[in-house]
């Protein structure tokens, strides 16, 4: 994927944050876009920001619903006939101690963060394989998918799942010598709207962790303090796609944090708290 011009990029969570920045940079590279989100207003705002002449379609899609993602895939292939970059990017977050998490917390976060990726893979990868063109699947995980953050067990479980799913998919595609590559994106805190993801939480899954607010405030503060922007993360991601790189860790301290966790495991010692200042 060293030439993105005229290719087709599918981006879930394209109505804000990283998804929007990926859309802008893919469009700047000459790609055609299929953007999905549950936020119609956000999608229209993204459309209005694209370079003049960009070919783009938008769909309201709840990625936790397999039929919605399947419809997105069908519509995308009907319009463009191919997909070259699949960004399984939509994500939400919930905070609080593990013992007070609710079933709704788990169903909502895993439904979007993990099953959204599963549905993207199941609906698009068979079509991409059949098309026989070079392409790449980029799954948005998090540094929380390579570490264990207090007060974020629901989120961490979902993102650890995305990492191992991506690794399995990489091995499978390599074994069959497919022209499809895989990347897993694992950023630390950066300025995005995920701390406000409760705004899109379904009413039927509204029973949230009663002790979540203190942890959520810590996350919001960490996001605001982030040195990298969504624009930076999108740029680094596309550079990694062109370079055919699997692990994408945009933040400088991420590798050290992962190394510490690996040492904990290899030396059979207690896990090191990656966020000692957390609530």
Which token pair is 61?
Answer: 């899609």
Taking alpha carbons only, the member of 89, 59, 85, 82 closest to residue 71 is 59
Helix pair 66-80, 115-131: axis angle to 10 deg:
30
Contact (CB, 8 A) for 166 and 229: no
Told to judge if 155 belongs to the known catalytic residues of this protein, a careful annotator would answer yes
Residue 52 burial class via C-beta count within 10 angstroms: exposed 0-12, middle 13-18, buried 19 and up: exposed
Task: Name the phi and psi angles at 108, rounded to 5.
Answer: -70, -55
Three-class DSSP category at 273: coil
Quote helix, strand, coil % in the chain, to nearest 5: 50, 15, 35
Out of 77, 80, 155, 215, which one is annotated catalytic?
A: 155
Taking alpha carbons only, the member of 231, 183, 230 closest to residue 85 is 183
Residues serving a catalytic function are 155
């Amino acid at each position: 994927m060293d030439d993105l011009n005229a290719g087709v990029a599918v981006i879930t969570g394209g109505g804000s944050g990283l998804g929007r920045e990926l859309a802008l940079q893919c469009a700047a590279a000459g790609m055609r876009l299929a953007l999905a989100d549950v936020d119609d207003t956000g999608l229209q705002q993204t459309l209005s920001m694209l370079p003049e002449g960009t070919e783009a379609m938008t769909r309201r899609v709840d990625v936790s619903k397999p039929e919605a993602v399947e419809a997105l895939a069908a519509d995308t292939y009907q319009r463009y006939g191919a997909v070259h970059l699949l960004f399984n990017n939509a994500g939400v977050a919930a905070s609080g101690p593990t013992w007070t998490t609710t079933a709704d917390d788990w169903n909502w976060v895993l439904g979007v963060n993990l099953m959204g990726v599963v549905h993207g893979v199941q609906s698009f990868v068979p079509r991409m394989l059949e098309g026989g063109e070079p392409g790449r699947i980029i799954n948005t995980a998090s540094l929380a998918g390579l570490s264990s953050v207090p007060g974020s067990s629901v989120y961490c479980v979902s993102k650890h799942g995305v990492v191992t799913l991506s690794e399995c998919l990489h091995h499978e595609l390599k074994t069959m010598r497919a022209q499809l590559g895989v990347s897993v994106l694992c950023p630390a805190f950066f300025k995005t709207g995920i701390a406000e993801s409760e705004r899109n939480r379904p009413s039927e899954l509204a029973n949230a962790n009663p002790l979540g607010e203190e942890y959520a405030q810590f996350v919001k503060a960490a996001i605001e303090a982030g040195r990298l922007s969504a624009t930076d993360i999108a740029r680094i991601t596309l550079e990694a796609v062109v370079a055919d790189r699997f692990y994408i860790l945009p933040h400088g301290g991420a590798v050290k944090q992962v190394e510490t966790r690996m040492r904990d495991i290899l030396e059979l010692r207690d896990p090191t708290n990656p966020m000692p200042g957390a609530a």
